[in-house]
Amino acid sequence: MPTASHLYREIHEQPTVLRRLLDLEQPNIRRLVQTIRQRDVDYVLIAARGTSDNAGRYANYLFGALNGLPVALAAPSLYTVYQQPPRLRNALVLGISQSGKSPDIVSVLADAQRQGALTAAITNFEESDLANRADFVIPLHAGEERSIAATKTYTAELMALALLGANLSDDPQRLNALAEIPDAVGRVLEVEPAVAALAQRYRYMQACVVIGRGYNYASAFELALKLKELTYTIAEPYSSADFLHGPLALIEDGFPVIVLAPSGIMLPEMQAFIDVLVQREAEPIVISDDAATLQRGRVQIPLLASVPEWLSPITAIVPGQIFAMHLARARDYDPDHPRGLRKVTETR
């Protein structure tokens, strides 16, 4: 039964983890915000891999839109292989890692410290190598994550980033909106029976694409990763704009396209994109809280809570996590131990 897996329990722990992070980390993040202002930070450089790299994609939109800060994703091999690190003047160098162990991510923060840049780490392990290289540490407070596929640590990373962006913007309404997110995730989890029923339909799916845009560009990457990790499906992520610039040729009758389309300024764009898929006889699987958008899809996965668009990646990924878990079960795969993977991957 799915309920016996670590993955199932960890997906359902997410409201508790998010609430705990909100309750415990506000003072710490306020101190980091004060230092960012004192140090006159001009931009953010993020070092991450895998799921945490997808959290970095979210930060790219978050810090740009809320705080006017350009965001770059680091190329760790410049530090570890080429040994030609770029200049990091006036940067906040932010390492994001569930384990805090990957040597290449640690190397980025180590060089940032050498250059005198402000460093911070978002990690589930406060005593990790990454944390030891950071001026500030934001612990995820997620508890042990025993399933190899990250779920609760991913949404906790998004919450930590959102908490930092909201405090840096000095907007009380954004902090109030954040306080509602744990309950919103709890409501979204109620879609599980409907999503579980879909798994058999896609048991033999070999390939698909996952589409998001704006804040949910990150969600497209994360859902595609979960499908690869847990179900061994060739799942490719795209923004809706990029997909129209060539990959649209992939579409044929019945081709599955998962579209993440929460309410917000990007919604009309996503609706128009779904209409193109329908015209080309694809099979759009639509994840949305908007009834009109859901009706455009061949398959509908309702988001049972509406939140501000800048926070929607925290809720929108949850049905995708559930779908990947149940699809793995439909294929008789172990959702806790995907083949060939370990919980901690150390890269150079």
Averaged pLDDT, 216-233: 97
Integer Cα distance of 136 and 142 in angstroms = 18
According to the model, what pLDDT value does residue 246 have? Answer: 87
Tell whether the model's pLDDT for residue 1 goes beyond 70: no
Tell whether the model's pLDDT for residue 10 goes beyond 70: yes
Residue 106 pLDDT grade (very low, low, confident, very high; cuts 50, 70, 90) = very high
Asked if residues 321 and 151 have their Cβ atoms less than 8 Å apart, the reply is: yes
Across 67-76, 108-117, 334-343, least confident range: 334-343
CATH code that applies to domain 2-179: 3.40.50.10490
Domain map (residue ranges) of the chain: 2-179, 187-330
Integer Cα distance of 236 and 249 in angstroms = 14
Tell me whether domains 2-179 and 187-330 share a fold: yes
Tell whether the model's pLDDT for residue 205 goes beyond 70: yes
CATH code that applies to domain 187-330: 3.40.50.10490
How does pLDDT run across 159-183, given as a tens digit for each residue? Answer: 999 999 999 998 999 999 999 999 9
Averaged pLDDT, 54-62: 98
Give the count of alpha carbons within 13 A of 28, CB side only. Answer: 17
Tell whether the model's pLDDT for residue 125 goes beyond 80: yes
What value does the mean pLDDT of the chain take? 94
According to the model, what pLDDT value does residue 225 have? Answer: 97
- Alpha helix ranges (H) inside the chain: 6-12, 14-38, 50-67, 77-80, 103-115, 129-132, 152-169, 172-179, 181-188, 192-198, 217-231, 240-244, 267-279, 291-295, 312-330
